[in-house]
Amino acid sequence: MGRPWDPDAPGVLTLPSGRRVRGRGLRRPLPAGPLPEFGLYLLGRRPEPVAWAERWTRWPDFRLPADAADLRAALGEVLDRADGERVEVACGGGRGRTGTALACLAVLDGVPASDAVAWIRQRYDARAVETPFQARFVRRFSGGPATAR
C-alpha cells in the first residue's frame, strides 16, 4: 500500500470518515501523480485492462447500474480498500455515473441519502449526477442491506 491520495489533487473526494477516493473520467488522460491501487469502472462494456486491481460494474451512460446489488457490493469494496489504498471510481466522463456512485458511497459513509447529491456536487463536481433518474437512485440508496430501486 502506498501513500493516500493528495486531498488537493483533482477529483479527490474526502469522505466523512476521512477516507479519500478519486473520481475521474476515463476519456481524459490519466492524472499525473501516483497510480491507483484499485479502480471501480462504471461502463456499459468491460474496460481496457489496467496495471492495478480493478472491478467493473455494468452501467450504460446516462442510465442506472444494470445490477444495484453488484454496485452496492462494489462500493463496499471501494470503501474498505480506501481505508489504506489509493482507490478511484471512474466512468467515461467522470460526472454522471461516477458522481452517482460517489454520492452512494457517501451514503454508505454516513451522509444522509437526501443530502448526498448536493454533498457530492459541492465537494466533487457541480455537475455530478446528471439525470433525474440518477438523483432518485441516490435518494433511495440507503446504508442498510436493502438495494436502491
The three grid cell numbers given for residue 124, joined into one nine-digit string: 466533487
Q: Which of 111, 109, 137, 102 is nearest to 25 (CA)?
A: 102
Q: What is the pLDDT of residues 98-117, one digit of tens each?
A: 999 999 999 999 999 999 99
- Please check whether the domain covering 13-28+36-140 is classified as CATH 1.10.3720.10: no
Q: What is the pLDDT of residues 47-101, one digit of tens each?
A: 999 999 999 999 999 999 999 999 999 999 999 999 999 999 999 999 999 999 9
